[in-house]
Amino acid sequence: MPENIVSIKATEISSPPTWALMERQLICLMEEAVELAAQKYGRLDGTPYNVNDVDDTYEAHSYKGLLYAIGAAERVLEIGLQEWNAITRLYDDGVVRRDEDPQHPEFRVQLHNEYYNLNGPADWFHMGEGNQSFYCFGLADPTHPENIRRAKRFAAMYMAEDPKAPNYDPEYKIIRSPFHGSVGPRFHADLAMAKVLLDPIYYPGGVAHGHAQRSNLYPVVNDLEDDWFENPVRAEEILKIFDDVILNGDIPDNLAATGLITNAYLYTGEEKYKRWVLEYTEAWMDRTRDNNGIIPDNVGPTGKIGEQRNGQWWGGFYGWNSRNSARNAFLAATIASECALLLTGDFGYLEFIRSQIEFLLSLAKTREDGQLLVPTRITPNGWEGYQPRGIQWLARVYHASMEARDYELITKLRAGEKESDWNEVEVAGDRSSGNLEARFNYYDGVNPDWPQKRLQAEYQYVMAMYEYMRRDSRDPAQIIADNRWPPNPVVTKGLTQVTMGSPQPIYNGGLLRTTVRYFDMDLERPGLPKDVAALVYKLEADRVGLQLVNLNRTETRNVIVQAGAFGEHRFTQVQFQTNEQGATSEKVAPVEGKYFVVELPPSTSIRLEAGMHRFVNQPSYAFPWHGDKGLVPF
């Protein structure tokens, strides 16, 4: 433990607030549900009965490491690691399979060297989903030797260090294709791949059924006919164009690779990972400036904007004209901005994503009823797809910056929202990006019941899933035959927001970013101690308000409070009240460090406000007892 760590003792005995009871009940319910799901939908070694694309299989078992790091039982982490390793063994081409081994009829090998892109195209939108569990293991146990080796090996595939995976071109600072991974970039599509990705809708406009659409070939092909693949000559021509226009170059979606490289940095502290994240992020920031301030959605093999589509800056895969349009452009750029800020403490990187939000808001229209509508996609006719805009990305920028300009952008959207109530809480799992509006209103002082409503909504969601699993009478053979996505009862969105004061990690490959984090001092493990609940009730640029509650009536708990998910912040001092012999007094304890300890005697609670300098320390997965060297011992 750090020497001379400041310790504060709670002295107020009181009945626990509703949110505290709900918080611990939710964690307890998920602990039971994780065990039940593992028993019903997988073999004893963790191998799942269902089979899908490997990223989906990882995704269906995600967030157990984060749940453990919040404060769930050790068994949750054990199951999470067992399942992740079993899935990796199942899909990896390096595993020797015997004829008598059980094989799912829809199974196919998809991993090489334990990473994606074998026997199927892999992109960052999907790899990022699958990587969530892997990133969370660093929060749970940063000394795990195998995961440290994996983190470094996976990062090497995107840093021009692995000759068998030449995904990155350091000369032009590009990831060389939208599809890439352990066997390198994919430059050639077969007919099956092209048929799926050239979604059959008419150009322009309409809503694609898949993630892309026919306009991905525009302007080289203006209007692709429906039956293009039935004529062998035409099919061969389109495949050649597909390879040249779509597969030969970089797209903003690849910025999510910064999460993978930052993950390696957090384990090791090696500067080369930091340099790569900044080099690649800044290359895209330069392209954005060169493109009049809007992120271009395609660059060619020499890093030029629109190089493969006659200079046109839009139309790329997952780009500004695709089904997901603005969402995909924002998610990876936000991951990159967050990683660059984390590694440098330079708030200027937030301008990368903020500028895109401001640009779209400058094009907004107001409907007759006062509803603000923001464009989402561009076509040859200009900006289209005007819709109400949530604060998914802007809420993350504001949480990082805590600047008035970002607050004002959010309140502008709130004032222009006529279709929904920002105080309402959705009952939705972690895949949903909703609920940030209700969170914003709480910290803005207009939604006081949000913590318990958020936790109750997640309890309801998990309880419904638990009941479904409990009543599911199918045997393994029927589960395999049905091959439905199995229930994942782990939802950490509300717990992350309430206990740590932050939005949830970006679903498609973002890292956890929090105001505070907790450790059990007595057991030397991450997360809130058993029976302890936490609430971040105030967020300011230089201050955070916390309430800690010990629900145990007979035992003392000792909580280490850390500044930031990775110790990237520094506490200055802590203000709190003591109540001794009926006299209440205000206390101030100087900290000037990453941590302080709160002693919680039985049935006590404490509210405190901690001064904070944000993004001033080197971030690391290291726990408080690992020391302050920046490198985790292993």
* CATH at residue 553: 2.60.40.1180
628/616: higher pLDDT = 616
Residue 581 near residue 588 (C-beta atoms within 8 A)? no
Of the candidates 424, 421, 476, 486, the one whose C-alpha atom is nearest the C-alpha of residue 454 is 424
pLDDT of residue 121: 79
Closest CA to 430 of 325, 326, 532, 503: 503
Relative to beta strand 174-175, strand 365-366 is: unpaired
Instruction: Residue 544: give the domain boundaries.
Output: 7-12+516-626
pLDDT digits (tens, 9 = 90+) for 144-201: 999 999 999 999 999 999 999 999 999 999 999 999 999 999 999 999 999 888 865 5
126 domain-assigned: no
Q: Average pLDDT for residues 246-254, to the nearest whole number?
A: 97
Q: Which of 245, 272, 289 is the last residue of a domain?
A: 245
Q: Is the distance from CB of 16 to CB of 605 less than 8 angstroms? A: yes
Instruction: Return the pLDDT at 432.
Output: 53
Residue 609 lies in a domain: yes
- The answer to whether residue 620 sits within a structural domain is yes
- In-domain check, residue 310: no
The predicted structure's pLDDT at residue 202: 38
Kindly state whether residue 479 falls inside one of the protein's structural domains.
Answer: no
Per-residue pLDDT reduced to its tens digit, 63-77: 999 999 999 999 999
Residues 14-20: contacts with CB under 8 Å, at least 24 apart? 14/603, 14/604, 14/605, 16/533, 16/549, 16/551, 16/605, 17/452, 17/547, 17/549, 17/605, 18/452, 19/451, 19/452, 19/455, 19/498, 19/533, 19/535, 20/533, 20/535, 20/549, 20/551, 20/605
Last residue of a domain, one of 245, 270, 290: 245
Count the alpha carbons within 13 Å of 583 in the hemisphere toward its beta carbon. 3
Say whether pLDDT at 137 is over 90: yes
Domain end, chosen from 208, 227, 245, is at: 245
Q: Token match 């690691």: residue?
A: 81
Nearest in space to 389 (alpha carbons), one of 368, 407, 366: 366
pLDDT of residue 196: 82
pLDDT digits (tens, 9 = 90+) for 296-329: 999 999 999 999 999 999 999 989 987 667 677 7
Please check the confidence at residue 290 and state whether its pLDDT lies above 60: yes
Q: Is residue 315 part of a domain?
A: no
Helix (H) or strand (E) holding 467: helix 450-471
Asked whether the CA dihedral 305, 311, 315, 316 is positive or negative, the reply is negative
Is 503 a domain residue? no
Question: What is the rounded average pLDDT for all residues in the chain?
Answer: 92
Task: Reply yes or no: is the peptide bond before residue 204 cis, omega within 30 of 0.
Answer: yes
How many helices (H) and strands (E) the chain has is answered by 18, 17
pTM value surpassing 0.85: yes
Whether 577 is covered by a domain: the verdict is yes
Instruction: Give me the phi and psi of 573, to 5 degrees please.
Output: -155, 165
Say what the pLDDT of residue 206 is.
43
428 pLDDT more than 90:
no
Average pLDDT rounded to a whole number, residues 420-444: 82
202 touches 221 (CB < 8 A): no
Give me the number of domains the chain comprises: 2
